[in-house]
Homo-oligomer: A and B are copies of this chain.
Amino acid sequence: MNLQQKKTSAPDTTVLEKLRASGLRPTRQRLALAKLLFGRGHCHVTAEGLFNEAKQTHVNVSLATVYNALHDFTAKGLLREISVDSSSSYFDTNTDDHHHFFFEGTGELQDIPPDSVRIAALPEAPGGSAISRVDVIIRVRD
């Protein structure tokens, strides 16, 4: 489609920095995928979805490499994985604390503005264990 590089995207150097800073070797494939992911505003992708975007942009990557890259990025804190639907995993380029709408009909995710959900009275984790994350998913029919 019309996914050519726009001047609005982050410059390649930024993405390169991001990879270097995280300790991941900036290979051609990872750079291309990182550019797709981080070059625009925040987005939610599946492995399959990113793979297709890559194909359309004439970036040669195998699906296995997409999975590897997504997991590597997630392990380094560049992405966040979200489980809403057991049929496939979503990855979010926004790693800040925030929550999601999930459109049951289309399977799309959308960020909820950070202040419109507030959680009062968060319970202690049982047995002195540490809370690693709180996920709020608002499922909407569409």
Contacts and interface: CB of A to CB of B under 8 A. Distances in A.
B119 A117 contact: yes
Output the residue of A103, A117, A140 with the most chain B CB within 10 A: A140
B132 A134 contact: no
A20 to B, nearest CB: 29
A130 to B, nearest CB: 5
Copies in the complex: 2
A38 interface: no
Interface size range of chain A in the complex: 35 or more
B126 A110 contact: yes
A127 B132 CA distance: 32
A131 B139 contact: yes
Given A131-B140, A135-B137, A116 B110 contact: no
Interface in A98-126: 101, 103-104, 110, 112-113, 115-123, 125-126
Interface string A63-98: 000000000000000000001111011000000000
Nearest to A90: B86
